[in-house]
Structure formats: C-alpha cells, structure tokens
Amino acid sequence: MSEPIKVGVIYGSTRPGRFCDTVVRWVAGQIGTRGTFLADLIDPVAPAKDGAPSLQQRLAQAEAFLVVTPEYNHGYPAPLKALIDSSGVEWHAKPVGFVSYGGVSGGLRAVEQLRLVFAELHAVTIRDSVSFAGAWEQFDADGGLRNPERAQRTMETMLRRLHWWAVALRNARNADPYLQVA
C-alpha cells in the first residue's frame, strides 16, 4: 500500500448560509473512513492563518482534488472560477473528482462546465461523480443523509477511481515530470 494521497477538498460556494458546509462535512466523513487519503479542506472564505501555506502551496501539495460545488443559474459559482484561475501548474497532471448539489439537476450542469475548465489545466477529471438533486431534502438537520446507501456506493466508486488515478499520476510525475511549456 502506498502512502496516503493528499486530497484538496475545495468548497465551491462562498455564499452566506451556504449549504456547501453540510455537503463538505459529509464528503470529509466519507474520505476519513478510507485511510487512503489525507484531506485538506480548502475553503475560500476561511481566513488565512499566519504562517499557513498559501492557496498555491496547498494546491501544489495536493495530489488529487475533490470539488464540492453547487449549481447557480445552470453553472458553477464565480468564486470557484476565481479560485481555479488563481493557479495554473498546481493543477497539472492531477485527478479531480466532483460532488455536486442543487435543485433538479443536482449540480450536474456545473460539473460538466468544470470538466472543460480542468481539461485546459491539464488535470484529469474522474468520470464518476456524486450528485445530490434536491439536496436540501436529502440531508437531515444534523447534516446526515436520510437515505445514504446510494450516495455512499457512488462515493466509494469515485474515491477508488480518484485514488487509482492519483497513484498512477504520482508515479508518472515522479518518473518523468510533467512537461511545463513556457
């Protein structure tokens, strides 16, 4: 077994009273049960602590990413785009998984747009994703899923594939660093 994969879990929403906190807590709990990942929760509204690594350093240290995003007006939030665009090579040759939430579509339209963005950043997106349609009805007041079985199965599949890609790409980057073009 290789050493745990450092996964950056990225909050996709910055709205006051955001539902993203609930979904990220569930995601972090799912990651924590595996032992194959070390999660770094990257929250764009959390104040930077003195001496803490910068956003770019945290992204560079991550070997994989899980983006937790809502869908706003058939797309993903502007602050998430700003976070993504604030870096470049930090995303290269790393896998990205998605957990989305929203109304009827469960955030899938936001994920499809994000796949295009991450392709431009030389990242590898995981085909499997977790989606919560009508998310506000799926979670109880304590942040637990009312019917967790399907979401847990889907998350397990995605995490296994995210781990596979993270290990494969880690080995590839170590054997032959990813080409950086000026």
Q: Give me the CATH number covering residue 52.
A: 3.40.50.360
Mean of the pLDDT values across residues 6-17?
97
Note the pLDDT tens digit of each residue in 70-80. Answer: 999 999 999 99
Backbone angles phi, psi at 70, to 5 degrees: -85, 175
Span 114-126, pLDDT tens digits: 999 999 999 999 9
Instruction: For residues 114 and 112, give the distance between their C-alpha atoms in angstroms, rounded to a whole number.
Output: 5
Whole-number Å distance between alpha carbons of 65 and 57: 14
* Counted domains in the chain: 1
The proportion of the chain whose per-residue pLDDT surpasses 70, expressed as a percent, equals 99
Average pLDDT over residues 117-137: 97
Radius of gyration of the chain (CA): 16
**Assigned token pair, 127:** 């085909």
Tokens at residue 54, please? 């910068």
In terms of DSSP H, where are the helices of the chain?
A: 20-32, 55-61, 78-85, 108-120, 135-138, 149-175
| Predicted confidence (pLDDT) at residue 37 exceeds the cutoff of 90 | yes
182 — pLDDT class (breaks 50, 70, 90):
low
- For range 50-57, the mean pLDDT: 90
pLDDT averaged over every residue in the chain: 95
Q: Is residue 180 part of a domain?
A: no
State how far the Cα of 29 lies from the Cα of 130, in Å rounded to an integer.
14
Take residue 78 and report the two structure tokens written for it.
Answer: 């502007």
Residue 5: pLDDT over 60: yes
Mean pLDDT, rounded, for 60-68: 98
80 inside domain:
yes
Task: Give the pLDDT band (50/70/90) at residue 154.
Answer: very high
Distance between CA atoms of 54 and 75, rounded to whole angstroms? 27
pLDDT at 65 over 90: yes
> In which domain, by residue range, is 55 found?
5-175
Q: Is residue 182 part of a domain?
A: no
Q: Is residue 170 part of a domain?
A: yes
pLDDT for residue 132:
98
Q: Identify which has the larger pLDDT, 1 or 2.
A: 2
At 42 the three-state DSSP class reads strand
pLDDT at 1: 56
CA distance 92 to 173: 10
Q: Give the number of other Cβ atoms within 10 Å of residue 34's Cβ.
A: 15
